[in-house]
Amino acid sequence: MKEKVIGNRASRLDAVSKVTGKAKYTDDFFEREMLVGKVLRSPHAHALIKHIDVSKAKSLEGVEAVITHEDLPKIKFATAGHPWSLDPNHRDVADRLILTDKARYVGDSIAAVVATDHLTAEKAIKLIEVEYEVLPHVLDAEEAIKPDAPTIHDEKKDNIISSFGQAFGDIEQDFQQADYIMEGVYETSIVQHCHLENHTAYAYKDTDGRIVIVTSTQIPHIVRRVVSQALGLSWGKVRVIKPYIGGGFGNKQDVVIEPLTAAMTLSVNGKPVRYQLSREECFIGTRTRHAIKFYMKTALSKDNRLKAIHIKAFSNNGAYASHGHSIIMSASSKFRPLYHFNSVKVEPKTVYTNLPTAGAMRAYGVPQICFALESHLDDICKKLKLNPIEFRKRNLISLGHVDPLSKIKVRSFGIPECIQKGKELIKWDEKKKSYENQTGEKRRGLGMACFSYFSGTHPVGLELAGARIVMNQDGSIQLQVGATEIGQGSDTAFAQMAAEVLGISMDMVRVISTQDTDIAPFDTGAYASRQTYVSGAAVKKAALEVKDKVLKIASRKTGLKVEDLDIVDKQIVEKDLGTPLCSLEEIAMLSYYDRIHAEPIKSDTSENIRTNAVAYGVTFAEVLVDMVTGKIEVLEIYNVHDSGTIINPSLAEGQVHGGVSMALGYALSEKLMFDEKTGRPLNHNLLDYKLQTILDTPKIGVGFVETYEPTGSFGQKSIGENPAISPAPAIRNAVLDATGVQFNKLPMNPQAVFEKFKDEGLL
Amino acid sequence: MFSINHILEPKTLKEAILYYDENPKLKVIAGGTDVLIHLHHGKLEDVELLSLRKINHLDEVKLQEDGTIVIGAMTTFSTLFRDKIINQYISILAEASVSMGGPQIRNIATIGGNICNGAVSADSAPSLFTLNAILRLESKKGVRMIPIQDFYEGPGKVKLLQGEILTHILITEDNYHEMKGKYIKFSNRKAMDIAMLSVAVTGQVEDEVFKDLRIALGVSAPVPVRCSKAEDYAVGKECSEETIKKIGELALSNARPRNSWRGSKPYRQHLINVLTQRAIKEIVFKGGGKDDEKN
Ligand SMILES: Cc1cc2nc3c(=O)[nH]c(=O)nc-3n(C[C@H](O)[C@H](O)[C@H](O)COP(=O)(O)OP(=O)(O)OC[C@H]3O[C@@H](n4cnc5c(N)ncnc54)[C@H](O)[C@@H]3O)c2cc1C
């Protein structure tokens, strides 16, 4: 009997080492006499730096170096965790210096100190004297593009990073012929990833004079490239090591602290320097999720079909480009393979402001557009008195749909079943009836929202993945991948894939979890929910190659053809009869010690994936709204996903629990706030930034509709980011159902609800 | 890394008081959950700490023969919310205690530190205000007993004289006998949060009449406050829906809530009114009042 490993609830490979505290993270590694790096941050939102005097700081005992932009190469570089593009027109905006020569937000890195310990470094920071010429600042994206707004980067006088949009169909004609035209404005706030482990790294020069950086990153190979570019070094001069990491959610899909960490070690002649951000620094000095304002306009026909959608979007990018316009481009591509439109036009503007830089965060622009679109659809239903579920079902695309712009084809389509399942889980019809005509102080409501998402970045980005396998004498293997485990469980999923192909048990697969750019296969890292789909294909390829080598030796040994052989439960078997011929171990031993044919079995492969698979899902939520205090409580929430084959249900559920929990905060409480007058952050700590606690989190219900995606190596599609997409609009729509009030801005925290209830005359 | 020069850890109160008298620059540290945050934010630097953690018997709750409940200043919130005496006689303080931070914070944070830190959001304050708690302060000069209402001076400021240590909190029997209490902490999160606003109500209802009613508010003025106007109005009145509504409105007259990004002034005013009403309805219900007024 061939035992299936794919689909099993295999335990995480790193479970024991993590829960026992043995797993080593960046801060668990030490070098002798490690120095400490610290940064002086700008107190002004926008200011010219006239002069920096570091003499007092330098003369403090224990200070080894103080650096400013004047000590560093004048090279502007881009930080986004994207594969390098050979086409210069397709590259990220290079607008950063390692230490800036102009302050563009409160928190901008002005100077750095390297000292023997934290307290000395902090003292030295206070001794640096900077003369600023304060400039007017702008925080709002729509304000920043007005003609009289201050210019933040000279290279973009109008503060617009890009306004490249997407369109198909004859939108004007569709609006002319529309029976109804609906409009709405929707807005999301700036939030932050709040991964448990703050950004941290250390660097030193090795005996060959190369820079070694150990860092908490999702993208070691990209870090190597960007550090080299920022310092003007040949790429081979930099080595990046990524140990276990305590979460990233996109904030470490960006090269944030590594170039400066490298510069710090160079400033002290290669002595080891550790540079760790505090939580407060992490909130402002890394990346945030873009606040985006959407102006939606939709054309419909009398039979309640969507005809056209015109979206204008203003994406607040903060002070530096980072992922920049890619975010809104992702948003405007990924929502499309869900509802049928004759014509679509998205006109986005990604805008510089004097705020912390926005970058990648779980689902890359899609939580924002999903909030706008799915809220808008419920507003349409409210106005036209339609059933929101039936309305959505009526407008869904169907299997085989090809997007007119990206050419991505829908080859598996489980959203209708997802909707059905979610509806049953929450007992929609039954509850809907009993919640009619509520009048009390506390009211209940139901809402739902759908989403579509991609598996990787094709056709926009390169989707290259590498995997390597070495078989040991006992038939067990080492699997080495370039893709990074960042807590999502990818190592375990890869192990299951290799075990499945090779007919071995999970305990025979050892995944080398650390990526070291000197030795790890090339892969651009953990992002875009690409790993199971893209890197999984490389793992399968590597495993198939090993299997083929095993069977060739077995064929030589048994005289049977390779095609007639298989590996089942660590045995070589005759395929049709299932009879065991010899153990896998015997074959492995031959590969090592056969006096004539010995050649240890290994594979080293890459896959360049040039397909994409559309994953789907839906959230159903039930809320209880306190009409007096404005508090919203989520009573029940279900996420049902079509992510193709579920490789490991426990891991997939873990992704859903985490994603929904993030989205609950996005919907109800999280918002990074700034003082309008000064641009200073107000709540950049975990007390005042209202990340939800476990007590605020309802039981999160999870469902899967398993389709088979033909382009997936095992039928799989993405699941990592997906769960964070649709809960916010589902909750918002449930509040609409409970109260009749349209909340078009996130988060719906008690203060915001109070103000809205006042406006609506409910209080 | 914290900027701490050294720490003294006396084993007796007497020793602590002597140290403190000799060096008034010492910073008292109890659980450290406020002190360490100040150090982390750079508000304190190069400190010399005087720790009270090794002193025996300052972390106990006792019921004296005269019915006075005596709470040691070093009693942690975990101890308080589980304590039999507290739960039996002044459950409102147990409610307040369990609303504090999370388990780790409650295990180390002390009631004395909460009071002496002087925060307007201190979760122990409103309840202690309604219980007319007395603070016992001791220095080399001797012992002072002062009502908690007179202790708070302004945001983060309390009336500790030089060399003084808070040793106990006392609640006399007449302040809890036959009384019911309710504490409502209004915050964004259910744990690990500070109050955006808080209301404590302690009172006695007899024959559906308010025999006694005390209302205290947190985060509604520069210091925690009692709502004397509302209290005076209530006593002797029937606990009807209208009376309670009027009490809610009157509660505002002792409040001076701030407008801040943590919560707007109009919102805080609204909450004072509605949460006061809710808290009163709770005790009316607990006290055997009208069932239908519970929600
Ligand atoms: C994560 C977190 C969550 C929190 N949540 C809450 C919350 O929900 N509600 C709340 O009210 N607070 C909260 N706090 C604040 C803090 O925990 C409380 O104020 C706590 O009660 C302080 O007690 P402590 O023993 O830690 O005081 P310490 O930090 O040791 O001391 C606080 C102050 O009181 C002085 N002091 C302490 N004891 C004495 C004494 N016996 N005599 C004289 N002076 C003294 C100290 O010098 C210092 O100024 C939280 C803090 C943290 C870090």
A653 CB-near residues (< 8 Å, 6+ apart): A702
Residues A222, A81: contact at Cβ < 8 Å?
yes
Q: What is the pLDDT of residue B289?
A: 42
Write out the CATH class of domain B61-175: alpha beta
Record: contact A695-B270, CB cut-off 8 A: no
Domain ranges in chain B are 4-50, 61-175, 180-286
Residues A27, A246: contact at Cβ < 8 Å?
no
Record: contact A690-B188, CB cut-off 8 A: yes
Which burial class, exposed, middle or buried, applies to A104 when counting CB atoms under 10 A from its CB (0-12, 13-18, 19+)? buried
Nearest CA, atom 52, ligand 1: B33
Q: How far is CA A633 from CA A624, A692, B82, in A?
A: 5, 12, 28
Antiparallel, parallel or unpaired: β B4-8 and B47-51: parallel
Question: Within 10 Å of residue A43's Cβ, how many Cβ atoms?
Answer: 17
Record: contact B295-A749, CB cut-off 8 A: no
Beta-sheet strand order (sheet of A700-704)? A442-453, A615-626, A632-642, A700-704
Record: contact A669-B189, CB cut-off 8 A: yes
Instruction: Give the integer Cα–Cα distance in Å for A19 and A469.
Output: 27
Residues A443, A624: contact at Cβ < 8 Å?
yes
Q: Who among B1, B189, B274 is closest to A690 (CB)?
A: B189
Ligand 1: distance of its center to the CA of B262 in Å?
20
Residues of chain A found within 8 Å of residue B281, distances taken between Cβ atoms = none
In this structure, whether the domain defined by A31-135+199-276 belongs to CATH 3.10.129.10 is answered with no
Q: What is the pLDDT of residue A2?
A: 60
Residues of chain B found within 8 Å of residue A758, distances taken between Cβ atoms = 266
Which burial class, exposed, middle or buried, applies to A60 when counting CB atoms under 10 A from its CB (0-12, 13-18, 19+)? middle
B180-286: CATH topology: Enolase-like; domain 1 (3.30.390)
Q: Who among B190, B263, B275 is closest to A696 (CB)?
A: B190
Instruction: Give the integer Cα–Cα distance in Å for A375 and A128.
Output: 50
Residues of chain A found within 8 Å of residue B1, distances taken between Cβ atoms = 117-119
Record: contact A629-B274, CB cut-off 8 A: yes
Q: DSSP characters for B96-114? A: HHHTSS-HHHHHH-BHHHH
Disruptive mutation site among A34, A122, A189, A628 for chain B (greatest number of B CBs within 10 Å): A628
Record: contact B188-A669, CB cut-off 8 A: yes
- pTM for this entry: 0.97
Instruction: Give the integer Cα–Cα distance in Å for A347 and A368.
Output: 15
Q: Which residue of B has its CA nearest to A440?
A: B295
Instruction: Give the integer Cα–Cα distance in Å for A427 and B189.
Output: 28
Q: What is the pLDDT of residue B287?
A: 57
A288-458+611-759: CATH topology: Aldehyde Oxidoreductase; domain 4 (3.30.365)
Disruptive mutation site among B123, B187, B259, B267 for chain A (greatest number of A CBs within 10 Å): B267
Ligand 1 atom closest to Cα of B101? 5
Report the gap between the CA of A378 and the closest CA in chain B (Å). 27
Instruction: Give the integer Cα–Cα distance in Å for A582 and B78.
Output: 63
Tokens 């890197």, located at residue: A535
The mean pLDDT of B49-69, rounded to a whole number, is: 97
* Type of residue found at B168: H
Tokens 């509040």, located at residue: A735
User: Where does ligand 1 bind, in terms of residues with CB under 6 Å?
Assistant: B 27-35, 37, 52, 73, 100-101, 105, 109-110, 112-114, 116-117, 121-123, 160, 165-166, 192, 194
A636 CB-near residues (< 8 Å, 6+ apart): A426, A620, A621, A622, A698, A699, A701
Residues A442, A624: contact at Cβ < 8 Å?
yes
Record: contact A669-B295, CB cut-off 8 A: no
Domain ranges in chain A are 15-22+464-608, 31-135+199-276, 288-458+611-759
At B206, is the secondary structure helix, strand, or coil?
Answer: strand
Residue spans of beta strands (DSSP E) within A301-341 = 306-318
Record: contact A693-B274, CB cut-off 8 A: no
Ligand 1: distance of its center to the CA of B31 in Å?
7
A473 CB-near residues (< 8 Å, 6+ apart): A585, A588, A589, A592
Angle between helices B265-286 and B241-251 (to 10 degrees): 140
Q: Which residue of A has its CA nearest to B272?
A: A629
- Region label for A250, one of left (φ > 0), alpha (ψ between -120 and 50) or beta (otherwise): left
Ligand 1: distance of its center to the CA of B75 in Å?
12
Task: At B80, list the tokens.
Answer: 């308080």
Q: What are phi and psi of B225, to 5 degrees?
A: -135, 155
Q: Who among B193, B261, B274 is closest to A628 (CB)?
A: B274
First-to-final CA distance of chain B: 49
Instruction: Give the integer Cα–Cα distance in Å for A539 and A468.
Output: 8
Angle between helices A326-334 and A366-384 (to 10 degrees): 40
The mean pLDDT of B268-294, rounded to a whole number, is: 79
Instruction: Give the integer Cα–Cα distance in Å for A143 and A385.
Output: 36
A294 CB-near residues (< 8 Å, 6+ apart): A185, A186, A187, A311, A312, A313, A368, A369, A372
Record: contact B189-A692, CB cut-off 8 A: yes
pLDDT in tens, B236-253: 999 999 999 999 999 999
* Type of residue found at A8: N
Q: Does B191 touch chain A (CB under 8 A)?
A: yes
Q: Which residue of B has its CA nearest to A120?
A: B3
Residues A582, A560: contact at Cβ < 8 Å?
no
Angle between helices A366-384 and A727-739 (to 10 degrees): 30
Disruptive mutation site among A190, A695, A753 for chain B (greatest number of B CBs within 10 Å): A695
Report the gap between the CA of A303 and the closest CA in chain B (Å). 43
Beta-sheet strand order (sheet of A102-103)? A102-103, A47-53, A129-134
**Would the CATH topology of A15-22+464-608 be identical to that of A288-458+611-759?**
yes
Instruction: Give the integer Cα–Cα distance in Å for A391 and A397.
Output: 13
Q: Enumerate the β-bridge partners of residue A58.
A: none
pLDDT < 50: residue spans in chain A: none
- The yes-or-no verdict on residue B294 having pLDDT over 90 is no
Mutate to test the pocket of ligand 1, among B114, B124, B183 (most ligand atoms within 8 A of CB): B114
Which burial class, exposed, middle or buried, applies to B259 when counting CB atoms under 10 A from its CB (0-12, 13-18, 19+)? exposed
- The yes-or-no verdict on residue B292 having pLDDT over 60 is no
CATH of domain A15-22+464-608: 3.30.365.10
Instruction: List residues in chain A touching B: CB distance below 8 A.
Output: 117-119, 122, 441-442, 628-630, 669, 673, 675, 682-683, 686-688, 690, 692-696, 749-751, 754-755, 758, 763
